[in-house]
Structure 1
Amino acid sequence: MELTAVGKRYGRGGRWILRDVQLAAGPGELVRIAGANGSGKSTLLRLVAGIERPSTGRVVRPGAAAYVPERFPPALPFDAASYLLRVGRVHGLSEAVARRRSGEWLDRFGIADRAGTPLSRLSKGTCQKVAVAQALIAEARVLLLDEAWTGLDPGARAVLDEAAAERAAAGGTVLFVDHDPARLAGRTSAAYLVGADGGLRPAQEPPEAVDPGGPVMEIEVDVPDGAPLPERLPGAPEATALGGTAVRLAVPAAHSDALLRSLLLGRPAVRVLAVRRREEER
């Protein structure tokens, strides 16, 4: 995905929201877009999604994009399950695959029991879970999350953290905006700041908030074809070769679930040999 000299303004004499934006992000990248309120972060994501056209420059995407908007319209004439099914079909999924993925994400967000409830009768938080699910079922090459964590309960936020990392681990390109500066800290591949002038410049990521003295999990895996594991995995695990195609990954326990999901759902395919808590330094 690449933006070249992209600018955006509304009307011939309007103020430039974005100006001369250069951005390149490849498969497996998880990218934070930061900036003050009204700086143009949401505009940038809409340009990448193809919802809006740039006033200048060019946007190139490697494939279809899935987008979670800053505001999700709940007053749609569907229940949660039928809405997700229709979105899945729009993304080109078969009916069977769309139904299966919809059910999986409703279950993962803990709202499977509300699959048949009209969107207009769902709480704001539950609607936001549906808004997130409609983008995740696509497994698109580009995933765009615009304040997608807002309105979610802590458990659902953790699920979305894992989902974003999993999509990147599976080869997707993920761009996200969130008001929490520590969101996905330690997992991102890059961060950018939209300035007051509408330009985009690299930004420094905050350190990962993990207790260095906390529990560590060791996950031993075998990669049958000997392919290298992705460079960036949830929790930035420490890898140790065990001989042959086996590898031991040591990761803070807080990230072990996300790491396992990334390994099992991503590429290359791996076989999990063992999962244990590290008791003593080897």
Structure 2
Amino acid sequence: MGRRYGLGGPWVLRGVDIDLPAHTLIRIEGANGTGKSTLLRLLAGIDSPTQGRITGQRPRTAYVPERFSAALPFTAAGYLVHLGRIHGLRTPEAADRAQSWLARFGAADHARTPLPELSKGTSQKVAVAQAFLAEPELLILDEAWTGLDTAARDELDRAVAERVAAGATVVFVDHDPRRLAESVDTVFRIERNGLRTASGARTAQTGPRVRIEAEGPPGAALPAGLPGAPEHTPTADGGVRFTVAATHSDALLCALLTARPPWHIRQLAAAPGPVQDPAADGPAHRTPTPEAP
């Protein structure tokens, strides 16, 4: 597909061919002005291609724009409930989810605050919360971490990992090259109006990892489709040692504990090994390996 603005205007994107499989985290890169936001709007269905088309059944989609307009006649919770209703949720369910997501991102105290009175950071928390209300199958994030405090950014990392683990496709742009680097399945880069595959970040460990030792029921097979595609090796006492990116550890624990039949978690600890900072030129350093309490 391609996109340009105005008759005879220059092409912003042209010849773009991208597939969005389930259970996938995709990063879009490119210099400022190359068309990253345009591509995300096309994928989210906010904009339409000038040339070509998007095929396949449209999944339940949520989108966090690069700039969230807070000049709307709602309180924070009222806005989320309103969008939840648009997504097909009943009012009580939408209200419960709104409160839950506001609390998760640290904005529960602002539930009754009118949107125009919110700070930029809190407005961004509301923008992010609305994207998770209806458990989207396709989640589009355009620099959604910008303006969030550290705790909220970490929470957004976890929420993204949970969505991917649940089978969703997440496509994101972020100015920090380390953002979810250890979890990304595919990186695309926009250059000269086109799209090329840059790398698959899971081939290089660039962030902290977690080791989980667990024991399955007698004769039980390893659960299929475990979040984060963890490495797994048998232990001498009949258990299994899983090693996974830290951003996927919560989702992996949940998957093991809720398997049918459930697995028993023996130990949780930081995994030893090199963690290379992509922004640094020096050698990799080693993470500490404290035992879980």
Same fold (TM over 0.5): yes
Match for residue 129 of structure 1? 125
- Secondary structure of the structure 1 residue equivalent to 2:199: coil
CA distance change for structure 1 residues 180 and 259 in 2, over 3 Å: closer, same or farther?
same
Matching residue within 243, 247, 256 for 1:250: 243
Are 2:240 and 1:240 equivalent residues in the alignment? Answer: no
Moved more, 271-280 or 30-39: 271-280
- Secondary structure of the structure 2 residue equivalent to 1:66: strand
CA distance change for structure 1 residues 150 and 251 in 2, over 3 Å: closer, same or farther?
same
- Secondary structure of the structure 2 residue equivalent to 1:182: coil
Give % identity: 48
Structure 2 letter corresponding to 1:209? T
Match for residue 42 of structure 2? 47
Matching residue within 265, 271, 275 for 1:274: 265
Partner Cα separation in structure 1 for residue 174 and residue 194 of structure 2: 19
Match for residue 254 of structure 2? 264
- Secondary structure of the structure 1 residue equivalent to 2:14: strand
Are 2:164 and 1:173 equivalent residues in the alignment? Answer: no
Partner Cα separation in structure 2 for residue 19 and residue 190 of structure 1: 20
How many aligned residue pairs are there? 266
Structure 2 letter corresponding to 1:103? Q
Match for residue 214 of structure 2? 220
CA deviation digits over 1:19-51, x for unaligned, max 9?
Answer: 010000211000000001110010001011111
1:1-282 → structure 2 map (5 Å cutoff): 6-60=1-55, 61-195=57-191, 197-204=192-199, 207-210=204-207, 216-220=210-214, 222=216, 226=221, 228-230=223-225, 232-233=227-228, 237-241=230-234, 247-251=240-244, 255=246, 258-261=248-251, 263-264=253-254, 269=259, 271-274=262-265, 276-278=267-269
Partner Cα separation in structure 1 for residue 115 and residue 290 of structure 2: 50
- Considering Cα pairs closer than 8 Å and 6+ residues apart, tell me whether 1 or 2 has the greater RCO: 1
CA distance change for structure 1 residues 266 and 276 in 2, over 3 Å: closer, same or farther?
closer
When normalised by structure 2's length, the TM-score is 0.81
Partner Cα separation in structure 1 for residue 251 and residue 73 of structure 2: 34
Deviation at 1:219, TM superposition (A): 4.6
Partner Cα separation in structure 2 for residue 75 and residue 221 of structure 1: 52
Partner Cα separation in structure 2 for residue 76 and residue 53 of structure 1: 25
Unaligned runs of 5+ in 1: 1-5
**Structure number having the greater strand percentage:** 1
Partner Cα separation in structure 2 for residue 106 and residue 241 of structure 1: 40
Structure 2 letter corresponding to 1:144? I
Deviation at 1:84, TM superposition (A): 0.4
Structure 1 letter corresponding to 2:207? V
Deviation at 1:273, TM superposition (A): 1.8
Structure 2 letter corresponding to 1:117? T
Unaligned runs of 5+ in 2: 270-288
